[in-house]
Amino acid sequence: MSDLVMSSGSIYVGYVDEACRHTRNIASTTWVIYLPSGQLLSSRGSCLGPATNNLAEYSAMIELLIDTIRHGIDHLIVKLDSQLVVLQLNGIYNIRNPMLLQKYLRIKLLEHHFQFITYEHIPRNLNHVWDALENYVLYWHLRHNQ
């Protein structure tokens, strides 16, 4: 691992997004990590198959946290365009859905690897780069798995 990534105390920024096509019964997730300097460190995505928007968003959060832990990052700001998920992760709203609760609890366990972590809502119209990546992952999967 590079010294850039291992610099403890520096705040990294992660973004997550999801795309669901209910007519095709498929969802995908993407996550990106930026260095404190603003340079892209990691950009990844995966196809989930059938999933709700919230389930996909939570899945993306888990993958982002695992990726940041692998890079030795312990200070993270996570930005996402789902206000509901942000409010749930920040403990303002409760979670009633058992599947979402399971993912929420996994996120809370992963948070123990961080000295600092917070979740921030960003308006959907400011999420265009990650949204484009998200749709690319989804449409790539649809084209190659017909």
**CATH code at 63?**
3.30.420.10
Cβ–Cβ under 8 Å, residues 74 and 35: no
Q: Please state, in angstroms and rounded to a whole number, the distance separating the CA atoms of residues 121 and 1.
A: 30
Secondary structure (3-state) at 24: coil
Q: For residue 49, give its domain range.
A: 3-144
- Per-residue pLDDT reduced to its tens digit, 117-127: 999 998 866 65
**Long-range contacts (CB closer than 8 Å, 24 or more residues apart) made by 106-109:** 106/62, 107/58, 107/61, 107/62, 107/65
Which pair of structure tokens corresponds to residue 121?
A: 């809502």
Dist CA 33 CA 36 (whole Å): 10
Cβ pair 31, 44 in contact under 8 A:
yes
Read off the pTM. Answer: 0.80
Confidence of residue 1 (pLDDT cuts 50, 70, 90): very low
Residue-averaged pLDDT of the chain:
81
Is residue 17 helix, strand or coil? strand
DSSP code for 30: E
Give 84-108 pLDDT, tens digit per residue.
999 999 999 999 999 999 999 999 9
pLDDT at 31 over 60: yes
pLDDT at residue 135 greater than cutoff 60:
no
Total number of domains constituting the chain:
1
Percent pLDDT > 70 in the chain is: 73
**Amino acid 132: pLDDT:** 58
Segment 51-86, tens digit of pLDDT: 778 888 899 999 999 999 999 999 999 999 889 999
